[in-house]
């Protein structure tokens, strides 16, 4: 849904001052989010609450109350800012600009189109209002599931009757402000179909004129599913959103990513192809794949941006953050770092780097543990702790990752590594912990499988232990390739 927000923000300054050219600055001082962004977030929130008609009414009105001056149309403004809950037979394009979360939430085209109707009908129950929402949702769903532009065009024309045979150059000279679905949805879809990339799609849409921010939102939502969103554009967009909106993005991204991950087989490590494509579409091709996400515990005026990905588990600024980044784990600014070892406690190359950074006392502590506690070696999946000595971290937790070449139960044993390390860190009253990519590399773990198990395990642990002292969980990754893999399997915003 972030693509809709991009289009809205880029188009915000051109809605009442159309620019009939593709040569313009995407982001400037005065670009801002409007009603398109707010109501897109409201649809996402409604889906998370259950996706029933009353859920949409509640979410639309709640967000409308937070942002009463976001630029709503007259009829919608009267509906959203009063106690009225009845639909008002609108055929406006508001139903289409807010629908994008629906297309990421469901696993079949039929379910997507049915849910798009539900999302529209609470206000826009005119047949054209419903058709506009369904057409846009269908286009997004088809794009994110790998269909070609020709297939998308054929489906929309055949089922919804929109004329998509025109070109942007043919539309642009005479196109004027039109808030109807029938007068803006086809144009927005054409702007996508004619594009060569995400940015080009946005430029096509804004250059048509008319209701620029809404056309941009519709085009952006489809282009996101087809191309993904460049990191630089994600960064500029996130910077212009505030906490209530970012919170919804975080929660929606978490739900979508976990749904995809949970659909993958846990023991075979071979995900079904369509599920892999869905996960890649969500997290890699644009939805929550940004290299930059806001630090959640800081106030909006003081937000900073960090490389990697951040997801939040919980509903408050005291919630647990899960961070993936390219970094040297020995220098991680955390209370605990986790060291992956073999059962002898002698370690591997990364363990050697930790040994050197910690100083000779760490090796002496290893030998004492081996002598007094684990003469036969630390069992796979278990964890023990020592002081950090010369490391910035107060503690080092040592865990033995499974060797995937030898173990049929490697996924569960790997999950045990993360769970037992978190349990031990919590007992130490640590506030933060950093993990490497345990069992990847020489231990034979497929990077995507390792990342999936790591992210799901720590996320579920954080959900199950909301009162734990641990409020930050980091994956400190040593290569761009591994970071990309964790990003692919991670959520959010």
Whole-model pTM over 0.75: no
d(Cα 339, Cα 391) in Å, to the nearest integer?
12
pLDDT at 308 exceeding the cut of 50: no
- Sketch the domain layout of the chain as residue ranges: 2-238, 292-489
| Per-residue pLDDT, 404 | 82
What is the structure's pLDDT at 283? 38
Evaluate if residue 70 carries a pLDDT over 80: yes
pLDDT of residue 264: 46
Q: SS3 letters for the chain?
A: CHHHHHHHHHHCCCCCCCCCCCCCCCCCCCCCCCHHHHHHHHHHHHHHHCCCHHHHHHHHHHHHHHCCCCCCCHHHHHHHCCCCCCCCCCCECHHHHCCHHHHHHCCCHHHHHHHHHHHHHCCCCCHHHHHHHHHHHHHHHHHHCCCCHHHHHHHHHHHHCCCCCCCHHHHCCCCCCCCECCCCHHHHHHHHHCCCCHHHHHHHHHHCCCCHHHHHHHHHHHHHHHHCCCHHHHHHHHCCCCHHHHHHHHHHHHHHHHHHHHCCCCCCCCCCHHHHHHHHHHHCCCCCCCCEEECCCCCHHHCCEEECEEEEECCCCCCEEEEEEECCHHHCCCCEEEEEECCCCCCCHHHHHHHHHHCHHHHHHHHHHHHHCCCCCCCCCCEEEEECCCCCCCEEEEEECCCCCCCCCHHHHHHHHHHHHHHHHHHCCCCEEEECCCCEHHHCECHHHHHHHHHHHHHHHHHHCCCCCCCEEEEEECCHHHHHHHHHHCCCC
Q: Quick one: average pLDDT of 334-342?
A: 86
Domain 2-238 bears CATH identifier 1.10.260.40:
no
Q: What would the two tokens of residue 5 be?
A: 């927000």
**Average pLDDT score, the chain:** 83
Comparing 268 with 468, the larger pLDDT belongs to 468
| Tens digits of residue pLDDT in 39-61 | 999 999 999 999 999 999 999 99
- Report the range of poorest mean pLDDT among 56-60, 165-169, 316-320, 407-411: 316-320
CATH code of the domain made up of 292-489: 3.40.220.10
Q: pLDDT grade, residue 252 (50/70/90)?
A: confident
Mean pLDDT comparison of 179-188, 357-366, 368-377, highest-scoring range: 179-188
């Amino acid at each position: 849904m972030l693509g809709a927000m991009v289009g809205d923000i880029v188009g915000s300054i051109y809605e009442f001052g159309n620019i009939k050219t593709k040569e313009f600055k995407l982001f400037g001082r005065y670009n801002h989010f409007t009603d398109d962004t707010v109501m897109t977030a409201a649809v996402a929130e409604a889906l998370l609450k259950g996706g029933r008609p009353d859920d949409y009414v509640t979410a639309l009105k709640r967000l409308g109350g937070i942002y009463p001056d976001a630029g709503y149309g007259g009829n919608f403004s009267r509906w959203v800012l009063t106690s009225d809950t009845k639909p008002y037979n609108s055929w406006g394009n508001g139903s289409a600009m807010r629908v994008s979360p629906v297309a990421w939430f469901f696993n079949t085209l039929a379910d997507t189109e049915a849910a798009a109707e539900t999302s529209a009908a609470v206000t826009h129950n005119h047949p054209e209002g419903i058709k506009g929402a369904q057409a846009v949702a269908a286009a997004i769903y088809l794009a994110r599931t790998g269909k070609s532009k020709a297939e998308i065009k054929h489906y929309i024309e055949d089922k919804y009757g929109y004329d998509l045979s025109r070109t942007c150059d043919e539309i642009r000279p005479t196109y004027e402000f039109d808030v109807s679905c029938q007068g803006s949805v086809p144009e927005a879809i054409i702007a996508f179909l004619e594009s060569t990339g995400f940015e080009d799609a946005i430029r096509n849409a804004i250059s048509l004129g008319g209701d620029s921010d809404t056309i941009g939102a519709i085009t952006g939502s489809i282009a996101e599913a087809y191309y993904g969103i460049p990191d630089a554009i994600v960064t500029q967009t996130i910077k212009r959103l505030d906490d209530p909106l970012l919170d919804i993005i975080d929660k929606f991204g978490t739900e979508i990513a976990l749904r995809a991950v949970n659909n993958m087989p846990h023991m075979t490590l071979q995900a079904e192809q369509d599920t892999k494509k869905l996960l890649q579409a969500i997290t890699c091709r644009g939805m929550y794949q940004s290299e930059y996400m806001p630090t959640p515990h800081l106030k909006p005026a003081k937000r900073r941006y960090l490389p990697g990905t951040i997801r939040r588990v919980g509903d408050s600024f005291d919630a647990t953050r899960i961070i993936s980044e390219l970094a040297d784990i020995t220098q991680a600014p955390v209370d605990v770092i986790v060291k992956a070892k073999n059962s002898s406690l002698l370690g591997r190359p990364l363990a050697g780097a930790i040994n050197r950074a910690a100083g000779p006392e760490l090796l002496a502590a290893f030998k004492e543990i081996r002598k007094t506690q684990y003469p036969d070696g630390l069992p796979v999946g278990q964890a023990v702790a020592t002081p950090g000595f010369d490391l910035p971290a107060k503690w080092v937790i040592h865990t033995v990752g499974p060797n995937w070449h030898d173990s049929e139960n490697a996924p569960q044993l790997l999950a045990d590594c993360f769970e037992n390390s978190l349990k031990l860190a919590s007992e130490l009253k640590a506030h933060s912990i950093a993990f490497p990519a345990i069992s990847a590399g020489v231990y034979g773990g497929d990077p995507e499988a390792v990342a999936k198990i790591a992210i799901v395990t720590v996320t579920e642990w954080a959900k199950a232990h909301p009162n734990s002292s641990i409020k930050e969980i980091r994956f400190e990754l040593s290569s761009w390739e591994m970071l990309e893999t964790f990003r692919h399997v991670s959520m959010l915003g």
